[in-house]
Chains A and B, each alone.
Chain A
Amino acid sequence: MNLDVKYVFPSKLKMLCIALMVVGVITFVAGFLINPDKTWANYLLNNFYFVSLSIGALFFLLIQYIANAGWSAVFKRVPHAMGAYLPIAAVFFILLYFGMHSIYHWTHEGIAETDKIIAWKLPYLNIPFMMIRIVMFFALWILLSRYLKKLTLKEDLQGGTGFFEKSVYYSRVTIFVLALTFPFFVVDMIMSIDVHWFSTLFALKNFIAAFFHGSAIIALIVILLNKVGYFPMLNNSHLHDFSRYMFMLCIVWGYFWFAQFMLIWYGNIPEETAYFVHRWESDWKTLFFVDLFINWFLPFIILMPRKTSRSKPVLIPMIIILIIGQYIDLYLQIMPGTVHENSFGWLEIGTFAGYTGLFAFMVLNALSKMNLYPKNHPYIEESIHHHF
């Protein structure tokens, strides 16, 4: 099998991505003129959404390295490419500085004097420290994901198992770094919207959500590339393994979602239940259950049988539903605390389209710049002939 293949980014798809980006920019400009507060909330939502996909894909990659997984070796360039979105995301998150007043209640001048709870949280939640954290987190993620990419690209040229062993070592480092940084990132960016509320499971739940939907996106990219003629080695066993990740993670996601909800529901402490009471009011109630239905129940039932978890016609719509699922999950976590009303409309659709275009452009562009298969990967043969 010829492994010297490069992905060619078709100019039509490029134009589509750019068109989507233009739609996004226009929506943002219109949004900032009409309703800046709501637009900033959307800005945060989309930024976080696509960072979570990148981080989830990175985590997927790290697990493959650390577990010495053979089956996925040939697809590893896809999560590598998904890391290419991180530098742009870093810039966007630094620009969030200008929107903090609209999103975060605790950044308001003099709020600490009247609000005792915020005053206590001030040593951690203050704008300079928050900006330092954003810069530090993104610097670490970008450095480490770039270094892993560099190692596998060098492996293409020189071969040998040395680069793989080094990748495994740095994957262990990165997994520690992710575990220590991403939860704080989640707390800063999303949990601090509802600044009076806290949940110790919140960060972990979002971490699992990122891993869950990041893995789903990897599978989607691989399947779609397979449809246009790349990844000819993709077989039922690979599909089964991809859907096992989704199946397993939907259960873990549901577990964390439920654990967080149940403890608060059962504890019945007003300062904790306020968060869920707000989301259980008529405006959000439907979405609250749709979130659980889409992210847990549907994949659980649909991906359970062996037949459906090996079928592309099932997996593609399933992943598209999961893409919506992650959006609803974040929408429910961000919008009630910022916009205070469920008003989904052109702003949400336009901005999401813009970010989708940008993300697709960055990922496919990065993918087209390297060899599509890590041809000197020690497990490449095992991966191509994967069968169970």
Chain B
Amino acid sequence: MKNKYLLGVFGDEEHLLDAFEDLKANSYKIEEVYSPYPIHEILTGMGHKTRMTHAAFALGVVAVLGLLGFMYYAAVISWPLIYGGKPFNAFPSFIVVTLVATILIVTLGTLFFFSARAKIFPGKKAEIIHEGATDDKFVIVFNASDIKDNKDELYRLLKRHGVEDIVEK
């Protein structure tokens, strides 16, 4: 296929939102929306729900169990030492370390999960769909195969809502 994407480039949020609502009402499939700042209506309107919080919670549980388990192993099973008259399993004093290390593990873990999910890694070349999307433009992206049947209608709709530029690439 020659053209993979169709881009509607808007100059401001108001026009973008009008077009966005209209597109949704006419059940067009929108691939992605790029904007210079997060827009609440777009975030909810795209219907993507993040599962990052679940990942973070799961990481937290694993981290807590792992850390406490390791400290129990080290202090009770592998090398039991009495220090300061404490029991081998000096549980309250493990909590501080657990807390701090859990925060670190959850932070790094979510960063890793996010990168894996978004397929980004150090040294990756950025895929810029439109120069304006990195600047002050609002870009709606359509998959060319989704809209090839009613392209003319889509053009009219976008123009009605004051689209600045339509790019096929």
Contact = CB atoms under 8 A, between A and B. Distances in A.
Question: Chain A contact residues: over half helix, strand or loop, or mixed?
Answer: helix
A5 to B, nearest CB: 30
Interface residues of A, number: 8
Interface in B40-69: 40, 57
A258 interface: yes
Interface string B58-89: 00000000000000000000000000111000
Given A262-B93, A266-B84, A266-B86, 6 more contacts: A261-B92, A262-B92, A262-B95, A265-B92, A265-B93, A304-B57
Contact of A268 (B40, B57, B85): B85
B96 interface: yes
Contacts of A388: 40
Nearest to A258: B95
Interface string A247-288: 000000000001001100110100000000000000000000
A348 B96 CA distance: 36
Contacts of A304: 57
Interface string A323-341: 0000000000000000000
Contact of A262 (B40, B57, B84, B96): B96
Interface residues of B, number: 9
A365 to B, nearest CB: 41
8 contacts: A258-B95, A262-B92, A262-B93, A262-B96, A265-B93, A266-B86, A268-B85, A268-B86
A262 B84 CA distance: 14
A268 B93 CA distance: 12
Contacts of A261: 92
B38 to A, nearest CB: 12
Nearest to B84: A268
Interface of B: 40, 57, 84-86, 92-93, 95-96
Nearest to B54: A305
Tell me if B's interface is mostly helix, strand, loop or mixed. helix
B102 to A, nearest CB: 13
A170 B128 CA distance: 52
Contacts of B40: 388
Contacts of A265: 92-93
Contacts of B93: 262, 265-266
Nearest to A255: B99
Nearest to A387: B40
Contacts of A258: 92, 95
Contacts of A262: 92-93, 95-96
A268 B90 CA distance: 12
A214 to B, nearest CB: 26
A262 B99 CA distance: 14
A261 B92 CA distance: 9
Nearest to A261: B92
A203 to B, nearest CB: 22
A266 B85 contact: no
B126 to A, nearest CB: 31
Contacts of A266: 84, 86, 92-93
Interface in A329-367: none
Contacts of B84: 266, 268
Nearest to B96: A262
Contacts of B96: 262
- Nearest first, the 10 A-B pairs at minimum CB distance are A262-B92, A265-B92, A266-B93, A268-B85, A268-B84, A258-B95, A262-B93, A261-B92, A266-B92, A262-B95
A262 B92 CA distance: 6
A262 B95 CA distance: 9
A255 to B, nearest CB: 9
A261 B93 CA distance: 10
A254 B93 CA distance: 15
Q: Tell me which of A261, A266, A304 has the highest count of chain B C-beta atoms within 10 A of its own C-beta.
A: A266
Interface in A291-323: 304
A266 B87 CA distance: 11
A1 to B, nearest CB: 22
A358 B139 CA distance: 61
Nearest to A305: B53
A265 B95 CA distance: 13
A265 B84 CA distance: 11
Nearest to A388: B40
Nearest to B40: A388
B168 to A, nearest CB: 37
